[in-house]
Amino acid sequence: MRKRINYLILVLCSTALLTGCAAVAMAPVMGLYTDVQAPYTATSNPSYSKVGTATCTSILGLIATGDASIETAAKNAGIKKIHHVDYNAKNILGIYAEYTVYVYGE
């Protein structure tokens, strides 16, 4: 009986540690493999000619680096007036995750 309780505790602790590893925020759908592109926001600016990107990544939910802000993406392309913003969220089995922001504008 004691062995079963120890085994159950081990399984519960392992499950708690593995849930949400490298999860990408804001993905409209999630799966074991996720590669989703979706809209984020739009403005009243009538046109765009430039596209800027900014990316952040996560490995095993332990190491996360990058700057996926709208400001950085706009700055990378020299955008002063934003038309709209999209994003792409990737997640592979919770091992590797990537979040990229696309800013369109002038």
Question: What average pLDDT score do residues 55-71 get?
Answer: 92
pLDDT of residue 16: 58
Instruction: Provide DSSP, 50-65.
Output: EEEEEEEEEETTTEEE
64-94: per-residue pLDDT in tens? 999 999 999 999 999 999 999 999 999 998 8
- Report the candidate in 83, 104, 74, 92 with the shortest Cα–Cα distance to residue 36: 92
Query: pTM of the prediction?
Result: 0.71
Q: Where are the domains of the chain?
A: 21-105
Question: What average pLDDT score do residues 53-69 get?
Answer: 93
What proportion of the chain, given as a percentage, has pLDDT over 70?
82
Spatial distance between the Cα atoms of 12 and 41, rounded to a whole number of angstroms: 39
**Is 21 exposed, middle or buried, given 0-12, 13-18 or 19+ CB atoms closer than 10 A?**
middle
